[in-house]
Amino acid sequence: MFAQLVYAFELATADPRVVGVNLVAPEDDPVALRDYGLHMAMIKFLRPLYPRVKVSLHAGELALGLVPPERLRSHIRQAVEVAGAERIGHGVAIAYEDDALGLLQTMRQRRTLVEICLTSNETILNVRGSAHPFSLYRSHGVPVTLASDDEGVSRIDLTHEYQLALQRYRLRYADLKHLARNSLEYSFLAGPSLWQGNAFKRMASSCASDRLGARSPSRGCAAFLAASDRAQAQWRLEAEFAAFEALPQWRQP
């Protein structure tokens, strides 16, 4: 396992197409359960040796009945506080963590994004609706976005997950935009963000006087966008929002 992690960190350092490191296996696998703390310690050891490599970890993809209750108490905390993951996949077992409220506060302060996989969590863990921590994360200010987990297995796409979130949690259009913006703000794309802060209210100073997503940004804004893959993707998203919101069905009679 350690050799595979070293290889992964080396690969992410050498090849820009590799944007980060993750661990792939069922979290309830006997080896994963037995060695979870050791795996997190390995990643902690490697982080300072490879400071530019990002880490996204599946953590808390567990539920009562799948594993003994004591196994629900620490995986997310270890992924966040020991391994230092920038993103967490699933995070379903957050309410069973020791000092769950303190952990939620830590995740908010560290801006640790949680990838919410509604269909996957219902299918694999039988967790849905009010039993799912999607609303818990949002109410505590932890950044979240939606993920499909595995489109090929679940026979879904990301649009399906947005529709499911809308129907189950009565989200507004502004909430959906925030989720989509989070997916880029907390991505592993290179370069600074288009936004100042995580409320998506103020753009970077170079683009502050421009219209969001404009086809022809000002010279200063264009130079800023050209130097940042993240900001370029964010600008394209805003242009797509503007085009969608300009459709005739949005116009009031």
Q: For residue range 17-34, what is the model confidence (pLDDT) as tens digits?
A: 999 999 988 999 999 999
Cα–Cα distance measured from residue 193 to residue 135, given in angstroms and rounded to the nearest whole number: 26
In what helix (H) or strand (E) does residue 145 lie, and over which residues does it extend? strand 144-146
pTM of this structure: 0.94
Q: For residue range 161-172, what is the model confidence (pLDDT) as tens digits?
A: 999 999 999 999
* CATH number listed for the domain at residues 2-188: 3.20.20.140
> 114 forms bridges with which residues in the sheet?
88, 144
- The residue type found at 213 is G
Q: Where are the beta strands (DSSP E) in 5-108?
A: 20-21, 54-59, 87-90
Q: Tens digit of pLDDT per residue, the chain (253 long)?
A: 999 999 999 999 999 999 999 998 899 999 999 999 999 999 999 999 999 999 999 999 999 999 999 999 999 999 999 999 999 999 999 999 999 999 999 999 999 999 999 999 999 999 999 999 999 999 999 999 999 988 888 889 999 999 999 999 999 999 999 999 999 999 999 999 999 988 899 999 999 999 999 999 999 999 999 999 999 999 999 999 999 999 987 765 5
Active-site amino acid positions: 61
Q: Which pLDDT score, from 0 to 100, does residue 153 have?
A: 83
In what helix (H) or strand (E) does residue 116 lie, and over which residues does it extend? strand 113-116
Q: Where in the chain are the domains?
A: 2-188, 192-253
**Closest of 41, 105, 100, 111 to residue 76, by C-alpha:** 100
CB 104 within 8 A of CB 75: no
Q: Which pLDDT score, from 0 to 100, does residue 233 have?
A: 98
> What's the token pair of residue 39?
């795996």
In sequence order, which ranges of 47-115 are alpha helices (DSSP H)? 75-77, 100-110
Cα–Cα distance measured from residue 47 to residue 109, given in angstroms and rounded to the nearest whole number: 20
Q: Which pLDDT score, from 0 to 100, does residue 251 have?
A: 67
